[in-house]
Structure 1
Amino acid sequence: MTTSPTATDPGGPTTVEPDRERRSLKLPAAPLFVLAAVVVALALVYTVGQRETGLVTQSVATGLLLGGVYALVSVGLTLIFGVLGIVNFAQGAMLTMAMFLVYEMSTSGGIPVYVATLLAVPVMFLFGVLVQATLLNKLTMAGNEEGPLLITLGLSLLIVNVLLMIFGGRPLRVPGSVSGRVEILDAIMSYERLIAFGGALLVAGALTLLLRGTSFGLSIRAVSANTQGASLVGVDVSRVYALTFGIGSACVAVAGGLMAPFLSLTPSVGEQFTILAFVIVVLGGLGNVAGAVVGGLIIGLVQTVGALYLPGTGSLILVFGVFVLVLFFRPQGIFGATR
């Protein structure tokens, strides 16, 4: 029996299988198509949308900044979801926990909010490592899917109720270190939201460098692709799991600190981001940091521009409509690889 030579055949010519080549050519087309669709949709809103140009520009600017906030919450979640396969229902509660850490350091310790954010990062990292090592590792290593889901749900309830006991239910405010706003193309943007947007890009860039440019990032990608295979070549899977959950928690600390100056703090403030974060993670592609950023920006734009036509909660109908539409044509997400 004869076989056609492929790129992996030592004696054959270095050619690529036609199907594999065709798949590799198709992958970059999805992000470009989505970008083109967003540009066309915005052009239609400006030209035939029957809304004032200045109002549309302000909605676009607000949507991009809001999308940056969503991306901040989602980049840590996509790492945990993509590598560990854990549906972390405690993500919103951990975001709230980070916000109250920053609040306590800012108000009681007199520490500037962005310095307090840097201090909250190692605290949340250690908290994430502890949670994974003590509560989730055994279940994750055993392939149990229901156990981690229930544990993270219970952890969420625990964090929220502990915060409620300590701080009460009255809304609190974190004093901001930066005040003022800037006007760009007739759109007004506060410095605090611009800093949060820049923080989202920095965190995404740092995670991308970690995953693509370090040996530990290679271990994370190996565990994400094939846990058993990674273990066979010497990767300490339980250590990778614990550190990955810790990194995801540290990302939440950055998100909480950068968002705290322009949000009212209550023990349940983070819960509003949980569902949208899962939507963004799946929309962008599981485990893909760039996908989480792009997904966050798309959802932010759809929500704010859509509110021009469907005010209130009506814009969420458009959000979930776009989510279903993208997944109908590309179930693996915008940046997800075809398996």
Structure 2
Amino acid sequence: MWTIALAMLLPAVGFAGEQSRAAEQCLYLTADFQVGQTLRYRFVTDRTVDIDWDPSGTMSRGRQADSKVTESLEVVVAYEPVEVDPYGLSTIKATCESVKAARSRSTSGRAGLRDAAETLAGKSFTFTVDPAGRLVDTSALDALIKEAGDAAFRPTTDTSRGRIKEPDMIGDFTATQWFLYDAIASVPSPSKGVVVGQSWSSQLSIPTPMVSRQGRDVRYTLGEVRPNPQGRLAVIKEAFSLAESPRRDWPMPYVGSFQVAGTFGFLRGYKFLSLEGTGEQIYNLDAGRPDSYKHTYVLKAEAMMMIPLGPNPQLTIDQTITMSRVTD
């Protein structure tokens, strides 16, 4: 009888063991906060824009066939939990402690202009987020982005000329803040967790020097889990490509009709051709927070000139976006 009982028990024990091993492999990506513990991050975006004015090589000798513009933005944001509910919605106060923008040259021809993104320095906004990292209420952030957008326009009393917008890097700020938790928020079934090797998809914005709403598709893959004294680190690999159609839920800084100053206003009718790139994010599983990420990609586009003088100019935008947690 003992032999029969043991024979009946072994399959059950084996099944339970398999379930236990499967549970150990299943990882939960959560956004965790504690009142009194402020998280501080540094975001840096850099891009180089190469404009080929003569892709066919027909321009007369002596004329400049290409030009280059570089832009960068560095933002330090402190995230202070105001109300924390580990099973519901948490309210976070974010303060832009510093904002610095730079360009290799003024694309509008007006030197010494302050980038409108820098008006965000010292400003705060709140947002609510659930344990899966999904942003539930971004109304304060959206309003702040539009406030910065208003600062991008030249002050004028001559309404006959219409509004003129200066170059700005507000879109870069949006890309860093609106999608902070996207890698975990886009997991299709967060309650089931993820396993190493599993992939899932989402879409991020593409910050550019021109006025546009364009998305980049991202394919996230949980690559590995690294041991660490401060908590297990999930390594999330990212692959970027050009989205066929952009999402409509992230905010645009500007409304109404206006002219764009400088090079990227002289060009128009932008057509995005391709985007290729990769990234990696380090997410602390035990602390429930992102520790760092780095995105690099190349975007190719075509534009038309206000006054057609030949072939359409070709643009190549080499972009890097990084985030790192600032520790004391």
Q: TM-score range by the shorter chain?
A: under 0.3
| TM-score after normalising by structure 2 | 0.25
Higher helix share: 1
Structure with greater strand percent: 2
Q: Which has the higher contact order (CA 8 A, sep 6+)?
A: 1
Bigger Cα Rg: 2
Under a length normalisation based on structure 1, what TM-score does the superposition of the two structures give?
0.24
